């Protein structure tokens, strides 16, 4: 199975590395980082780079397509070459997936029309403008599309995919290997649980 993970300047690291850590451990799986040009692609914090070894033209029929989010996603929404590749890859993919605001790239490509999907809470309401049906669920599976809410939800989505692709036993084995058993020190991980002042502070940070 080939998993193609899309990179672009300004991607959010955990959006892609969380799913990579899970999907890359599934049996008989090859993960390929894809970007417009081969080479290092820098993240949104400008402090970490991942090397893309292939261009979209090199990866024509991936079994799984994964697009992460990040501030750089806004510019990519007008990248016709990327959007065309997403549409083409989607025709033959077993799964077309996105994490966080990466969902907007799938929506811009037109593949989520009439589909339930999720994204980061700050942009969820905007999905409807692209013909998708916004969902507040952390992970949404609709047909062969899987989308995850913000950043860390990509791990949950990847484990969900792992179960659907390789079986629950395999997915649980991967979960144990990476010791994914979150016990955060705060209950501020969602709009429903975060204190009001924290929500307002987060909105200001995201808008800056």
Say whether 40 sits in a helix, a strand or coil.
strand
Which two structure tokens, joined as six digits, stand for 195? 């204190």
- Give DSSP secondary structure letters for 50-62: EEE-B-GGG-SS-
Residues 156 and 118: their CA atoms lie apart, in Å, by: 13
**93 neighbors 144 (Cβ within 8 angstroms):** yes
């990040």: which residue's tokens? 70
- What contacts 51, CB < 8 A, 6 or more positions away? 33, 38, 39, 40, 41
∠ CA 145-152-140 to the nearest 5 degrees? Answer: 25
* β-bridge partners, 5: 33, 66
Residues 126 and 123: their CA atoms lie apart, in Å, by: 6
DSSP 129: G
Quick one: CA dihedral 129, 80, 153, 186, positive or negative? negative
Which residues are catalytically annotated?
Answer: 100
């Amino acid at each position: 199975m080939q998993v193609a993970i899309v990179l672009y300047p300004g991607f959010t690291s955990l959006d892609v590395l969380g799913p990579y850590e899970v999907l890359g451990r599934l049996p008989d799986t090859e993960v390929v980082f894809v970007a417009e040009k081969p080479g290092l692609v820098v993240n949104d914090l400008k402090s970490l780079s991942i090397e893309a070894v292939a261009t979209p033209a090199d990866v024509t029929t991936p079994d799984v397509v994964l697009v992460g989010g990040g501030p750089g996603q806004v510019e990519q929404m007008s990248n016709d070459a990327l959007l065309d590749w997403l549409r083409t890859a989607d025709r033959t993919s077993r799964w077309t997936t996105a994490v966080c605001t990466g969902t907007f790239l799938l929506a811009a490509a037109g593949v989520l029309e009439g589909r339930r999907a999720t994204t980061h809470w700050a942009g969820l309401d905007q999905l409807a403008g692209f013909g998708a049906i916004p969902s507040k669920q952390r992970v949404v599976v609709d047909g062969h599309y899987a989308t995850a809410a913000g950043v860390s939800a990509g791990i949950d989505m990847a484990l969900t995919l792992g179960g659907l692709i390789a079986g629950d036993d395999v997915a649980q084995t991967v979960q144990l290997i990476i010791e994914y058993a979150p016990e955060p020190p705060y209950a501020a991980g969602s709009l429903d649980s975060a204190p009001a002042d924290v929500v307002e502070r987060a909105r200001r940070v995201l808008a800056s």
